[in-house]
Each structure stands twice: as C-alpha cells, then as structure tokens.
Structure 1
Amino acid sequence: MKIRTQITLLFTIITASILLLFAAIIYYSAKENREKEFYTVLKREAETKGNLFFKARVDSRTLQNIYKNNRITINEVEVAIYNTSFQLLYHDAVNIDFVKETKEMINTIETKGETQFYQKDWQVVGLRYSFEGEDYIITAAAYDEYGYNKLNSLLRNSLLVLLLSILFIYIAGRIFSKKVFKPVKEMIDKANNISATNLYLRLNTKNNKDEISELGNTFNGMLDRLENSFDAQKHFVSNISHELRTPLSAIITELELAIGREQDNNTYKRAIKNSLNDAKKIVRLSNSLLDLAKASYDPSEIAFKTIRIDEVLLDAKHQVQQANADYKIDLHFENDIDDENQISLTGNEYLLKVAFVNLFENGCKFSADKECLASIAFNNHRILLHFKDKGIGIPEGDLDHIFTPFYRGENKKFTDGNGIGLSLTQKIILLHKGKITVVSKPGIGTTFSIELPGLS
C-alpha cells in the first residue's frame, strides 16, 4: 500500500473516530437529559394528581375521564394512589394498570420516599405524599414517545452526518495527499531517469525547509558522492593501467631484444636485471594497492589493539633500512616517558607501519644525504609525530595535490614512484582518527606532522 493511501486512510480513521466520539457523547447526553426531564414530568404529574385528588377533592370519575380523553391524543401519564396499607384509593385506568404495583413496591417507596425505575420502555416514578398527617403512595408511569422519537431522529441524523463526513474527509484526504506527495512523485520520475551514464542529473528541489526538500537535497548529495566515486574509479583504473603498462612494456621489450638474436652473457644479464627491476616495480605497485584497499575498509572490519607508537616506528625504520642500506633514519623523543600509556594508542600495527615506511622512504629518497629525522612528542592524550628531511622540498603548486592517489608532481623526475604512498598514508591516519599536515620549502626540506589520539 502506498504511503499516500496509508496517510489518507489514517487521516480518515482518526477524524472519523473523533467525530464518532463526539456523536456518542452528544447522543448519550441527550439520552440522559431526556430521562431526567421525563422523570421530572412524571413527578410533577404525580404531585398534580395528588393535589387534585386530596386537596381539590376532584372525584375519581372526573379524573379518569380527563385521563381517557387525553390518552387519545397524547401519551397521558398513568397515575395510581395507595395508602400505606396497600389499599388502592385511585387509579387512572385499572383495566390497563401498566405498573402493576405490589406491596413490596409500595413498602420500598414508603421507605425511600421516592424511587425511579423502568417497566420495559415505560418510566415509573413512585413517591410518598403527605396530606393531613397521613402518608400516601403515588405512582406515575408513561411512555415518552416524543422523547424517544427525538433520540431516534438524533441518532439517524448523527449517523448520516458521520457517513457524509467520512466520505468528505476521505476525498479531501486524497486530494491533500496528492498535492503533498506531488514533489515526491516528480522526484521518483526524475530518479528513474538517472543511471550510470547520466549521473550529472539532479533532482529539482525548492528552497523550502520541509522534509521533502531535505530528502531531495540528501539524494542530490548522494548523487554527488556517487559521481565523484565513479570519476575517481575511472581515474583510478586509468592510472593503474598506465602504471602497469609501463613496466610490463619494458619487460616485454627487454625479453624480445634478448631472444631476438644471439647475445653475449653480459647482455643477457643486463636484460634480466632490467626485467627484474620492472617486475619489482609491479610488485611494489601491487602491494601499495593492497594496502590502499585495506586502509579503505570499514573501520569495524579492521582489527585494532593497544600498541606502542615507538615500537611501530622502530619496525618501520628497520624495514626501510633493510631494503635500502644507504638510508639514514634517526628517532628523537621530545618528552621523557613516565608511563608507556603516554606513547600508546589503539590502532592497527600493520597499517601504521605502512604509513611510517612511506614517510621514511619519501624523506630519504628525496634528500641528497638520504636522511630522515622522526621526532615523538605527547601531551593531553595526544601523540605528535614529525618526519623531517633536508631534501629538495615540494613546489607550492603541488602541496594541495600530494595526497591525491597517483598524483606525481614536479619531483617525479628525481626518483621512481607510483603516487600511492602519501595518499595511502593519509587514509591510514584518518582511519586512526588522526590528522596529517605538511610544510615544505623547495631547496630547504619537508616536514610531515601527524597527530594521533593516545590512550584516554
């Protein structure tokens, strides 16, 4: 069932329930008022007949004639008068006697002074009447045909109005919901036309601050992210293809030249060495891509544990120097360590080591002295790392792009690389809820600063 239909039905049911409640209250109030008013009429009629019989001393025949004549045109009240000994003194119509008084009934009326009750649909009032020091019992009964007709008419009219109101409310609800959901329908039609080939399309949203406009803006934001993701994926595939094609082409060329004609051993060795270097480039690229994929995982899918940052830095240093014996890496502590928690954090040891290896290698390979200095400081549950070199520096125009995957600036002519290292490093630091910044001056050197949350 569509939301539009659900809202219409819910609106109709709630409104109909409220109307039904009001109608029930009005009908119940009318019913109670009718009953009370008719009991009052019966009591007044009983007292009037008592006054006519005892005080005015109107004879019984006259009173009965009045009753019979009135009964032809209206529902006359039937009155009976008894003494306390259950002796009938007067009755409007003994042959009818709808109440059929009993001695127990008379005794109850005498005891209570006044009673009210129903005999089927007839209402009956019984009261004690005093005259000249004697007590008498008077009963009055009648059928309130006029009152019941008014109640039935009220009930019919209420039900008719309720049914018409429900119909009107339902129609109004359909019209109202159609108007309200018109922007949603337009969004659905527009969204159905958006595909991978035209992600540039956007939903039309007004500047209203309602939920529908907010939904449209949220959807457009999602499309922006999808479009950027698709563009990044295309760019990523294009760069990967280029990075792989270059060493693969070089390997193929070297091997073709080697087997094209008879060569001496030195030529074969040179071809194998060049091919081996190109193959190592492919391996490094593959490893970098795998690390980049790991750093892009959902944080909940990555194992975190408590680690010491100095131990991770030492492991990264040994790994870099083992692969490059001429690289010089120094570690410096700016604070005295009183508690190992000061240099500990919750993180993934492997990924952090990858990030530090990238920064060590960058600092060394772009420096004439192949040297990089790493300093460690801590305060207020924060760990501060600085990776400083005295290399060629980064041109100002490249600083805004160095964390972009596969981006290689003007410095690419100085050394080989694939443009993944710094992008990977940034992803790892962000994954650990830290931040990384860079300050560099061409010809002076570069400093990468990292801030990571320590143990609370």
Structure 2
Amino acid sequence: MKIRTRLTFLFTFLLAVLLLVLMGILYLTSSKSREVEFYGELKKEAVTKANLFLEAQVNPKTLHKIYQNNSQILNEVEVAVYDTSFHLLYHDAVEIDRVKETKEMIDKINQNGSLQFYQGNWQVIGILYNYQGDDYIVTATAYDEYGYNKQADLLKTILILCSLSILILFFVGRFFAGRALNPVKRMIDEVNNIKATSLDLRLASQKNKDELNALATTFNEMLNRLEQSFDSQKQFVSNISHELRTPLAAIITELEWAKDTERRKEEYQSSIQHALVDSKRIVKLSNSLLDFAKASYDASEIRFKTVRVDEVLLDACQQLQKSNPTYKFNINIGESLDSESLVSIEGNPYLLQVAFVNLLENACKFSKENQCHVYLNKEQSNLVLKFVDKGIGILTNDLDSIFIPFYRGKGKHFIEGNGIGLSLTKRIIELHKGTIEVQSKLEEGTTFIVKLPLVK
C-alpha cells in the first residue's frame, strides 16, 4: 500500500472516529434530555389530575371520558391515585393498568417522596402528593411517541451526515496527502535520473527547512561520497593497470627474446633474472593491494585486541632485515614509558606491522646509510612514534599528496616503489583512531610522526 493511501485512510479513520464520538455524545445527550423532559411532563400531568380529582372534585366519570377521548388521538398520560395504605382512589384505565402498582412500590414512593423508572418503552413516575394534610400517592405513565420519533429522526440525520462527512474526508485527505507527498514524488523522479554515468546530479533543495529538505541534503551528501568513491576507484584501477603493465611488458619481452633466438647461458640467466625481478615487483604490488583492501574494511569487521607496540615494531624490523640485511634500525624508548601498559594499545597486530614495515622501509630506502631511527614517547593519553631518516627529503609541494594512493613525488626518480605504502599506512593508523603527519627538508631528512591512543 502506498504512503498516500495509508495517510488517507489514517486521516479519514481518525477524523471519522472523532466525528462518530461527537455525534454519539450528541445523540446520548439528546436522549437523556428527552427522558428528563418527559419525566417532567409526567409529573405535571400527575399533579394536574390529582388537583382535578382531589381539589376540584371533578367526577371520575368525567375524567375517564377525557382520558378515553384524548387516547384516540394521542398517547394520553395514564394517572392513578392511591392513599398511603394502597387503596385505589382513582385510575384512568384500571382495566389496562400499565404500571401494575404494588404495595412495595407505594411504600417506596411514600418513603422516598418520588420514584421514576421504565416499563418497557413507557416511562413511569410516582410522587407523594399532599392535600389538606393528607398524603396521597400519584402514579403516571405514558409512551413518548413524539420524543422517540425525534430521536429516530436525529439518529437518521447523524448517520447520513457521518456517511457523507467520512466520504468527503476521504477525498479531502487523499488530496492533501497527495500535495504533501508531491516533493517526495519529485525526489523519486530526480533519483531515477541518477545513473552510474551521471553521479554529478543532485536533488533539488526544498524551500521549507523540513524533514524532506534534511533527507535531500543527506542524500546529496551520500552522492558526494559515492562520486568521490567512484572517481577514486576508477583512478585506482587506472593506476593498477599502469603499474602492472610495465613489469608484465618487460617479462613478455624478456621471454620472447629468450624463446626466439639461440643465446649463450649467461644471456639466458640474465634474461631470467630480469623476468624474476619484474615478477617480484608484481608480487609485491599484489601484496600491497591486498593489505590496502584489508585496511579499507569497516573497523567493526577487523579484530582488535591489546597489543604491545614495541613488540610489533621489533617484529617489523626483523621482517625487513630478513629481506634487506643492509637495513639498520635504532629504537629509542623514552623514560616516560616505564611500564607495559604505557606501550599497549587496542589494535590489530598484522595491520600495525604492515604500517610499521612501510614507514621503516621508506626511511631506509631514502637514507644513504639505509638506517631508520625510531623514537617512542608518551604524550598525554597517546603513544607517539617518530620514524626519522637522514635521507633526500620530500619536496614541499609533495607533502600534501604523499598519502594519495599511487602518488610518488621526487623520490620516485631515485628509488623504486608503487606508491601504495604511505596511503596504506595512513588508512591503518586511522583505523586505530590515530593520526600521522610528516615533516621533511630536502637533503636533510624526513620524520613521520604517528600518534596512537593508549589503552585506558
């Protein structure tokens, strides 16, 4: 069911319930008012007949005649007069006697002064009437045909008005629900026009600063993120293709050269060595891309535990020295870090080691002595690691771009690399709720500063 239809039914239902409740109250109030008024009329008739019989001493036959004549054209009130000892003194229609008075009823009226009740649809009233010091019991009953007809007409009018009102409310509710949802329909049309090739399109902002405007703004922000993600992905794929194409072309060239021409053993070995170097470059690039993908997961999907950063750092140094024995590392732990808790953070050991390996390897590659100095200290609630080298440094123009995937600055003319390491490192540090910044001067060296929150 569409929202417009649901809103229409809800609007109609609520107002219909309210209307029916109000009409019900009106009907019940009218019914109660009719009842009270008719009891009042019965009391007046009872007093009038009692006066005629007791005070005016009108002949009972005359009173009977009046009653019979009136009964032929209207619902005449039937009156009976008793003394307090339950002796019948007068009755308009004793042969009918709709009230069926009893001794208990007369005693109750005598005790309470009055009594009123229903006999079927007939209303009955009994009163204590005093005449010349003597008490009499007077009962009166009648069927309020006129009042009941008015009630029936009122009920019929209420039902017709309620039916028409509910029908009108339905169409009015549908109209206003449609108007209220027009901005949503426009948004749906605009969203349907947004394709993978037109992510630059945005939803129009609403004039009113309401929830729909907030929705449009939120959706536009999501589109901004998606567009950036798609652009980054396309750039990422383009860079990967470029990085893979060069070593693959070199491998194919070497193999074709070795296959098509008879060569000496030394030449074959040289060709195989070149192909092996290019293959290792591809493997290293693949491993870097795999690590980058792992570091791009949602943080909630990565397992964290309490780890000692100094131990992870030593493992990273040992890993690098196995593949590059010429690399040297000098680790300095500050005096403020005098306990195990002060070098422990919540993190993923594998990803942290990947980040440290990239920073250590960069420092050694770009340093003439192939050496990296690492300093560990505590700063407020953070563990601070500084990776320092005395290498060629980084151009000022490149400092803001070195964390972009596949970006390589001036250093790419000196040292081989794929431009993924630093972007991967930054992503890993951010996953650990840390920060990384770089300070560098040409021909003097570079310092990477990593801050990681300590375990509380």
Matched residue, 1:183: 183
After the TM superposition, which residues 257-276 of structure 1 pair with which residues of structure 2 at under 5 Å, given as runs?
257-276=257-276
Paired residues of 2:331 and 2:374 also in contact (CA < 8 A): yes
1:169 deviation in Å? 1.0
- What TM-score, normalized by structure 1, do the two folds share? 0.95
Greater Cα offset, 85-94 or 360-369 = 85-94
* More deviation, 413-422/156-165: 156-165
Aligned to 2:280: 280
1:133-212 to 2 correspondences below 5 Å: 133-212=133-212
Aligned to 2:59: 59
TM-superposition CA deviations, 1:90-116 (whole Å, max 9, x none): 112334432232333323323333211
CA distance in 1, matches of 2:227, 2:326: 45
Question: How far does residue 139 in structure 1 lie from its aligned partner after superposition?
Answer: 0.4
Describe the SS at the equivalent of 1:307. Answer: strand
Q: CA shift at 1:379, angstroms?
A: 4.0
Q: Amino acid of the residue matched to residue 164 of structure 1?
A: L
Give the secondary structure class of the aligned counterpart of 1:447: strand
**CA distance change for structure 1 residues 349 and 31 in 2, over 3 Å: closer, same or farther?**
same
Q: Tell me if structure 2 keeps the 8 A contact 1:359–1:387.
A: yes
In the TM superposition, what are the counterparts of 1:11-160 in structure 2 within 5 Å? 11-160=11-160
Q: How does 1:232-311 map to 2 (within 5 A)?
A: 232-311=232-311
Where do 1:371-382 residues align within 5 Å?
371-382=371-382
CA RMSD in angstroms comes to 1.8
The aligned length equals 456
Q: Which moved more, 1:272-281 or 1:418-427?
A: 272-281
- The answer to whether the Cα contact below 8 Å between 2:337 and 2:377 also exists between their aligned partners in 1 is no
Structure 2 contact 366–391 (Cα < 8 Å) conserved: yes
> 1:389 & 1:30 partners in 2: Cα distance?
97
The separation in 2 between residues aligned to 1:416 and 1:365, in whole angstroms, is 9
Distance 1:380 1:52, change over 3 A: farther
Q: Distance in 2 between matches of 1:336 and 1:100?
A: 108
Taking the aligned partners of 1:441 and 1:33, their CA distance within structure 2 comes to 99
Deviations 1:205-238 (A, max 9, x none): 3243112222222222222222222222221111
Contact 1:335–1:378 (Cα < 8 Å) also in 2: no
Structure 2 residues not aligned, in runs of 5+: none
| 31-40 vs 197-206, greater mean Cα deviation | 197-206
Structure 1 runs not aligned, ≥5 long: none
DSSP-derived class of the 1:58 partner? coil
Confirm or deny: 8 A CA contact 1:316 1:354 kept in the other structure: yes
Report the equivalent of 1:437: 437
- Of 388-397 and 238-247, deviating more is 388-397
Q: Distance in 1 between matches of 2:210 and 2:146?
A: 56
The secondary structure found in structure 1 opposite 2:28 is helix
Query: Deviation of residue 382 (structure 1)?
Result: 1.8
Which amino acid counterpart does residue 206 of structure 1 have in structure 2? Q
Deviation of 1:168 (Å):
1.2
Q: Percent identity?
A: 57
Q: What is the rounded CA distance, in whole Å, between the counterparts of 1:222 and 1:50 in structure 2? A: 90
Shift of 1:130: 2.6
2:415 pairs with 1:415? yes
CA distance in 1, matches of 2:12, 2:93: 55
TM superposition score normalised by structure 2? 0.95
Question: What amino acid sits opposite 2:108 in the alignment?
Answer: T
Q: Distance in 1 between matches of 2:150 and 2:442?
A: 101
User: What is the SS of the residue equivalent to 1:181?
Assistant: helix
Q: Which letter maps to 1:455?
A: V
Corresponding position of 2:395: 395
SS at structure 2 position matched to 1:130: strand
CA distance in 1, matches of 2:10, 2:45: 52
